[in-house]
């Protein structure tokens, strides 16, 4: 396969061989996945400390992030890194080539030994994703994508679902971790709009990045949420668009990885979802 090289990185960073990036990121995801799987064994959950009561973090999150970031920075010293646990939660991105890492997406599931959680590693250049690796340790499913080269699950090409009526669509959203009045109001309005649309199924599985993988793999027709950060979206939003989904913000505008809202949907249902969500007020805080 022809190698893809990004040669015009801002700040004169070294050109990146995306095939090499992929193999290092896959190795890092498996290393973190081994830590996650060990913790999911009975009685082995790692120590939990709460960022907030609804947003836990564990020693395993921090250890996974240390492992992933050290493998990435050793191999790519010129790249910046942004990890969920190191950032202090502001999710800022610059134009430079940046590895954006969620060491465990779905931490609230993880702390309950619920295996619906994943490791997400995205490479972002000029604030746009160019490569994504997502690893679901419980199933050993490895999702990979490089911009322009398609989306893959364990090496098999992914394509979004062909369901074209909302009555047969499975739509995923999340309640998130914010509990202030305007967020609660937003979530209630969003859920109400969704129920009124009468899809076949509505699901809240508990991990934004893995939800996007479901859309890419054709196991869900749409996922939307106000709440996810760049580390939830960097890898999996690219996976979705490479699998043929329409990926925008919840108003249909260009996805901003730091904009904290996303709609990924099969193209044939995009207008219906956008229409349904049009009057949902965005949270203000």
Q: Which of 272, 207, 278 is nearest to 246 (CA)?
A: 272
**Cβ within 8 Å of residue 260, ≥6 positions away:** 91, 226, 227, 228, 229
Q: Which of 190, 229, 269, 270 binds ligand IPD (CB under 6 A)?
A: 229
For residues 56 and 150, which CB has a smaller minimum distance to ligand IPD in the complex? 56
Q: Which of 172, 154, 145, 169 is nearest to 241 (CA)?
A: 145
Strand partners, 144: 133, 152
For this structure, is 249 an active site residue? no
Phi then psi for residue 119, to 5 deg, are: -100, 135
> Minimal distance in Å, beta carbon 162 to ligand IPD?
27
Q: What CA–CA distance (Å, rounded) separates 16 from 68?
A: 18
> Minimal distance in Å, beta carbon 20 to ligand IPD?
27
For residues 65 and 221, which CB has a smaller minimum distance to ligand IPD in the complex? 65
**Cβ within 8 Å of residue 57, ≥6 positions away:** 48, 49, 50, 51, 85, 107
Interacting stretch for ligand IPD, rule CB under 6 A, among 65-73, 104-112, 147-155, 187-195? Answer: 104-112
Number of chain positions touching ligand IPD (CB under 6 A): 17
Catalytic residue among 61, 84, 221, 242: 84
Task: State in Å, rounded, how far the first CA of the chain is from the last one.
Answer: 47
Instruction: Tell me if 71 contacts ligand IPD by CB under 6 A.
Output: no
> Minimal distance in Å, beta carbon 217 to ligand IPD?
17
Q: Which positions are catalytic? A: 84, 102, 104-105, 107, 232
Residues found near ligand IPD in the complex (CB under 6 A): 55, 84, 102, 105-108, 174, 176, 206-208, 225, 227-229, 232
């Amino acid at each position: 396969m022809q190698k893809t090289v990004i040669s015009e990185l801002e700040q004169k960073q070294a050109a990146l061989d995306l095939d090499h990036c992929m193999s290092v990121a896959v190795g890092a995801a498996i290393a973190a996945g081994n830590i996650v799987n060990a913790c999911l064994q009975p009685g082995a959950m790692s120590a939990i400390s709460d960022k907030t009561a609804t947003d836990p973090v564990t020693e395993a999150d921090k250890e996974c992030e240390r492992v992933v970031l050290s493998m990435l920075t050793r191999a790519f010293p010129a790249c910046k890194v942004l990890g969920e646990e190191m950032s202090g939660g502001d999710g800022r991105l610059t134009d430079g080539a940046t590895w954006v890492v969620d060491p465990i997406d779905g931490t609230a599931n993880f702390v309950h030994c619920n295996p619906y959680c994943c490791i997400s590693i995205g490479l972002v250049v000029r604030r746009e994703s160019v490569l994504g690796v997502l690893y679901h340790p419980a199933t050993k499913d490895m999702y990979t994508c490089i911009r322009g080269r398609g989306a893959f699950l364990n090496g098999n090409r992914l394509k979004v679902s062909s369901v074209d009526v909302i009555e047969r669509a499975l739509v995923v959203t999340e309640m998130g971790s914010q509990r202030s009045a305007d967020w609660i109001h937003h979530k209630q309005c969003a859920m109400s709009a969704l129920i009124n649309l009468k899809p076949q199924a509505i699901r809240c599985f508990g991990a934004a990045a893995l939800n996007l993988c479901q859309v890419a793999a054709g196991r869900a027709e749409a996922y939307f949420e106000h709440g996810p950060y760049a580390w939830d979206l960097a890898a999996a939003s690219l996976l979705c668009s490479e699998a043929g989904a329409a990926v925008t913000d919840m108003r249909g505008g260009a996805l901003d990885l730091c904009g904290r809202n996303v709609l990924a949907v099969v193209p044939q249902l995009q207008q219906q979802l956008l229409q349904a969500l049009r009057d949902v007020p965005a949270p203000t805080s």
